[in-house]
Copies of this chain bind each other. A is one copy, B any other.
Amino acid sequence: MSTKKGQIKLGAFLMNTGHHVAAWRHPNAWAEHGLEFAHYKHLAQTAEQAKFDMVFLADGVAVRRNHDRASLSRSGQIVHFEPLTLLSALAAATEHIGLVATASTTYNEPYHIARKFASLDYLSAGRAGWNVVTSASEAEAHNFNRETHMEHGLRYERAQEFLQVVKGLWDSWDDDAFVRDKASGLYFEPDKLHVLNHKGKHFSVKGPLNVARPPQGYPVIVQAGASEDGQEFAAQTAEVIFTAQQTLQEAQAFYAAVKGRLARYGRTPDQLKIMPGVFPVVGRTEQEAKEKYDELQNLIHPSVGLALLSGNLGGFDLSSYPLDGPLPDLPETNLNKSRQKLVTDLARRENLTIRQLYQAIAGARGHWTIWGTPQQIADRLEEWFVNDAADGFNIMPPYLPAGLHDFVELVLPILRERGLFRTEYEGRTLRENLGLVRPANQFSARSEERASA
């Protein structure tokens, strides 16, 4: 069965030892820190053999969890490769799979970002994608000369101008600017160079870029913002959205809301692929899957769980309360009130102990967790796909590499049998495989653009 929507798009979201907060402690997880290239090479090649659209890497420019040192010392996600360098190395070790790196518009400069992603697009012959984020943590501010994080609205305003500059720099050269005529000595046609001369509120960038126009025109633009600002920004510029959705209904509502915003930017629904994160725990039987999941949950060290809870409860310290007792009544705080209410309501509604509560929120970091047989997991993915909750999924294996193998070997064959997933790559670039058009150069037609460089 294949639908009018085509087939499911798949990302392999790779993260050190895996996505579960205690993944590194699992017997089948690679416990080395996230700085083993052989590990990532194996994962990327596995995903490529399985015909995933892309490898996806998250990022932050600080140590991720700013817990107290005792609980921090139990986290497996602290040190890792910088994504652009890692993906560049993976470009040399793969041939077809897309390579998507996260990079912040708040703590970078547009010239660097335009250049590095253009360079990655050349290294990979058209397989680069950029997950545009505005950074969420104060810890990042402290590594970049700031006392406090930039305010949310201002971050999005900067992001918008940032993206405009980056696209302008990618359009510095016409696609056919470089003629390289040895006989006449002409390397490029002067009219096909476009100097940006951008002067805006946040950036003043002259250009041109010292990289030719990327093979894909623009590397694929990915976003993950869920806020009102984030959704609007995505509707305007994103080609892929990575999102956290817990239920079919929520996902459908998000899908309809974001796709509904596209028309006002002259865009059609197929120009934006919505790919929720999925945290699949695959067992050969339902019982085996449940046991696998419980095994992981029980590996969450109480100090990690309590630090996570504290972060969700306005900083309240629960360490003097019994782990297997109920959540006590908490004082009101002004820190992240809505999050505090959400977590407290969950505990009350499901009558959870403190341990059960941190297990409930810790595992997949807010992403859609499904455990079951390969058949059951394929059913759920199909359900979301055919009912307009998703165009594809960003697969977040609980632990690596075994969690990726499970999905590839057990779930994918079922999706293929149903005609829901490819057997071969359709195109040569990430853009082609995702079914996205190659954007034209915004300056190409302008013959008046002949100012001196």
Residues of A near any B CB (own CB < 8 A): 22, 24-27, 31-33, 35, 37, 41, 60-64, 66-70, 72-76, 78-82, 84-86, 88-93, 107-109, 111-112, 115-116, 118-120, 122-123, 125, 139, 142-146, 173, 178, 180, 182, 185-190, 193, 203-212, 299, 301, 304, 452-453
Query: A80 near B190 (CB under 8 angstroms)?
Result: no
Query: A145 near B203 (CB under 8 angstroms)?
Result: yes
Nearest opposing residue in chain B for A79, CB measure: B212
Closest CB in chain B relative to A173 CB, distance in Å: 7
A207 to B140, CA, bound (A): 9
Closest CB in chain B relative to A102 CB, distance in Å: 13
Query: A452 near B92 (CB under 8 angstroms)?
Result: no
Query: A61 near B187 (CB under 8 angstroms)?
Result: no
With A25-B185, A188-B73, A453-B63 already in contact, the answer to whether A33 and B120 are too (CB < 8 A) is: no
Query: A205 near B145 (CB under 8 angstroms)?
Result: yes
With A116-B85, A212-B79 already in contact, the answer to whether A73 and B189 are too (CB < 8 A) is: yes
A210 to B64, CA, bound (A): 8
Query: B111 near A144 (CB under 8 angstroms)?
Result: yes
- What's the dominant secondary structure at chain A's contact region? loop
A125 to B206, CA, bound (A): 38
Closest CB in chain B relative to A130 CB, distance in Å: 13
Q: List the B side residues contacting A142 at CB < 8 Å.
A: 204-206
**Known pairs A85-B119, A88-B89 / 7 extra A-B pairs, C-beta < 8 Å:** A73-B187, A76-B187, A80-B210, A84-B88, A139-B206, A145-B204, A185-B304
A206 in complex: contacting residue of B64, B69, B108, B143, CB < 8 Å: B143
Query: A81 near B190 (CB under 8 angstroms)?
Result: no
A86 in complex: contacting residue of B62, B123, B180, B210, CB < 8 Å: B123
Q: List the B side residues contacting A26 at CB < 8 Å.
A: 182
Q: List the B side residues contacting A146 at CB < 8 Å.
A: 204
Q: List the B side residues contacting A145 at CB < 8 Å.
A: 109, 203-205
Query: A85 near B123 (CB under 8 angstroms)?
Result: yes
A115 in complex: contacting residue of B41, B82, B205, CB < 8 Å: B82
A88 to B304, CA, bound (A): 34
A68 to B451, CA, bound (A): 10
A78 to B173, CA, bound (A): 11
Q: List 25 A-B contacts (CB under 8 A).
A: A24-B182, A26-B182, A37-B91, A61-B111, A63-B209, A69-B453, A72-B190, A73-B189, A73-B190, A74-B185, A79-B173, A79-B209, A79-B210, A79-B212, A81-B123, A84-B84, A84-B85, A85-B85, A85-B116, A86-B123, A89-B89, A142-B206, A145-B204, A145-B205, A146-B204
Query: B111 near A211 (CB under 8 angstroms)?
Result: no
Q: List the B side residues contacting A115 at CB < 8 Å.
A: 61, 82
Query: A31 near B82 (CB under 8 angstroms)?
Result: no
With A89-B123, A116-B85, A144-B109 already in contact, the answer to whether A35 and B211 are too (CB < 8 A) is: yes
